[in-house]
Amino acid sequence: MTQASAKLIEAIADMREDEALALAREFLDAGGDPKEALDICRKAMDIVGRRFEQGEYFLPELMLAGEMLAQISAMVKPLLANQTQEEVKSAGTVVIGTVHGDLHDIGKNIVVFMLEVSGYKVVDLGIDVPVAKFVEKVSELQPPVLGLSGFLTLAFDSMKETIEGLAAAGLRDTVKIMIGGGQIDEAVRAYTGADAFGGNAMAAVSLCRQWIAQ
């Protein structure tokens, strides 16, 4: 690892946003490989994720890390487009969203963040996602895993309806479904017909590892 990339990793991981963005710009302007820039981000996010797990970082740090990642990705994207369209290697696709009627997305965003850090391509459908939208995306992208998030008790029914909707569209057996959110437990899993539930973002990652053969 060069000194420049070590400095960038440290700036991101230590939440020094201005410095991180300036270093990333410098790195790219000096002809640095854009894919390496993304790799640097991933390493930094690894550190951030670990500090979160260890109780050193909290939601605000995850939020800022996500912002830094988005800004650096935006710098890198135009440069990547010029290169040969070789897909950045992904561990698999996960479609995720907060079910209809529910607007909570902080927990889901952490799951998205940790999945991305772990190398998955995540398609985030956002909040209050109607059943039809989940069905459409699963049918279009054929992801191996679908994640449903929800924090309200009414989300139990929305999750159930979403899973029934997939079954009605003949898609239920094509995808593994995990659910999660504040009050979700085994009883809710059974009620909704999901394949598994996860109590935190790391559980979401392990489920994907288990379900998506590398």
Partner 1 sequence: MGPAHSRQQRENTMSATAISSSEDPERLYNEREQRLNDAIALREPDRVPIIYYTMFWHATYTGMTFKESMYNYERLSEVTKRIVLELQPDAIAPPHWLNSFGPTLELIGYRQLQWPGHGVEENHSYQYLDREYMKPEEYDDFINDPTWFIMTRFLPRIGDVFAPLAKLPQFASVQHLRLVQSVRAFGDPELQAAFAKLARAGQEMERMSQCAGAFVKEMKALGFPLGQAFTAPAPYDYFADYLRGSKGIMLDLFRHKDKLLEAMERVIPLIVNSAIQTLRDRPCKIVFMPMHWGLDGFMSPAQFKTFFWPQLRRVMMGLIDAGLTPLVLWEGNCTSRLETIADIPRAKAVYWFERTDLKLAKKVLGGIVCLKGNVPVSLLNTGAPDEVRACCRDLIETVGKGGGFILDGAIGIPDEAKPENVRAMYRSVHEFHS
| Residue whose CB is less far from ligand B12, 37 or 115 | 115
How far is the C-alpha of 3 from the C-alpha of 186, rounded, in Å? Answer: 48
**Nearer of residues 33 and 128 to partner 1, judged by Cβ:** 128
Binding status of residue 204 toward ligand B12 by CB under 6 A: yes
Q: Which two tokens stand for residue 174?
A: 């094509």
Q: Is 72 within 8 Å of 24 (Cβ atoms)?
A: yes
Regarding 143 and contact with ligand B12 (CB under 6 A), the answer is: no
Near ligand B12 in 71-110, by CB under 6 A: 102-108, 110
CA–CA dist 186, 204 (Å, integer) = 15
Given the complex with ligand B12, which of 2 and 206 has the nearer CB atom? 206
Among the listed residues 182, 187, 190, 206, the single contact to ligand B12 using CB under 6 A: 182
The least CB distance from residue 58 to partner 1, in Å, is 5
* Residue 118 interface partner, choices ligand B12, partner 1, none, CB cut-off 5-8 Å depending on type: none
| Contact residues for 125 (Cβ-Cβ < 8 A; gap 6+) | 95, 96, 97, 133, 134, 137
The answer to the question of residue 142 lying near ligand B12 (CB under 6 A) is: no
Total residues at interface with ligand B12 (CB under 6 A)? 25
Instruction: With residue 177 as reference, give the H or E element that holds it.
Output: strand 176-180
* Cross-strand partners of 149: 98, 180
